[in-house]
Copies of this chain bind each other. A is one copy, B any other.
């Protein structure tokens, strides 16, 4: 009788020193593990080591986890172990613009984007039909200066009730409080509509037009209390010309925003992104 195989993904980081790869691959091999994908990076500037391994094992997952925990202890290692392809429970926040929300839900349904969209939260009601079309519960949580704290509390309740693992700000046009950023640190991704660090802050396309740039861009990054300064996950650009007015930049920018955000969400959900100080390691 053959044991059913599990396909697991391990992502880890620790201070860099000799022997890490051997210790990890040894622990996996002892449990019948066959490594099918492996990437690693040692960052000389932070002294940290990062690794992502996909492995087929015949041993039960808790056994593999135990073996890794021992290695992790020896090497002061942080690690996550997950099933390859398991959809990550995701809450998407939006305001009025549809392109990012619509694109994420489309890719989830048609392009194997491994997220499970458990809720859409928006501070305007406009996008409800899109959520409904894809069968995702829609929560309209308006935000004013007075209600902001309540709104964030409501969001956190949803995060806990729904076991949310990832929050995506899909052109959500509200600034989150520092506390919320800290609470969700490492599990909240924003799409900024400029090629950061150019044009931080408000109305980046108007800024870009005023400066006369020849490419516009978008940046997906982890959200930190330090606005528009979180670790960058992905960026891309599109060519524009003098003839494109701000409205045209906005329209063209939407294409870049949605594809940059989709890539960042995919890589995060596949445990391909590891935070390395102010930077990210992306094993794409």
Q: Which of A21, A34, A56, A255 has the most CB of B within 10 A?
A: A21
Stretch at the interface among A79-87, A142-150, A154-162, A211-219: A211-219
Report the minimal beta-carbon distance from A48 to chain B, rounded to whole angstroms. Answer: 11
Given contacts A36-B42, A38-B38, A38-B40, A242 and B280 within 8 Å (CB-CB): yes
A282 and B242 within 8 A (CB): yes
* Number of A interface residues in the complex (CB < 8 A): 65
Return chain B residues, CB-CB under 8 Å to A280: 212, 242
Interface contact A211-B198, CB-CB below 8 Å: no
8 Å CB interface, A13-29 against B: 18-19, 21-22, 25-26, 28-29
User: Please, how many angstroms separate the alpha-carbon atoms of A90 and B195 in the complex?
Assistant: 33
Query: How many copies of the chain does the oligomer comprise?
Result: 4
Asked whether B212 lies within 8 Å of A279 as measured between CB atoms, the reply is: yes
Choose among B25, B43, B106, B282 the residue that contacts A22 (Cβ–Cβ < 8 A): B25
The residue of chain B having its C-beta at the shortest distance from the C-beta of A243 within the complex is: B41
Complex: A58 Cα to B278 Cα, angstroms = 34
How near does chain B come to A261, taking the closest CB pair, in angstroms?
Answer: 13
Which candidate, A62-70, A174-182, A230-238, is the interface stretch facing chain B?
A: A230-238
Binding site for B on A (CB under 8 A): 18-19, 21-22, 25-26, 28-29, 34-45, 56, 97-99, 102, 106, 110-112, 129, 133, 195-199, 209-215, 217, 231-237, 241-243, 245, 251, 254-255, 259, 276, 278-282
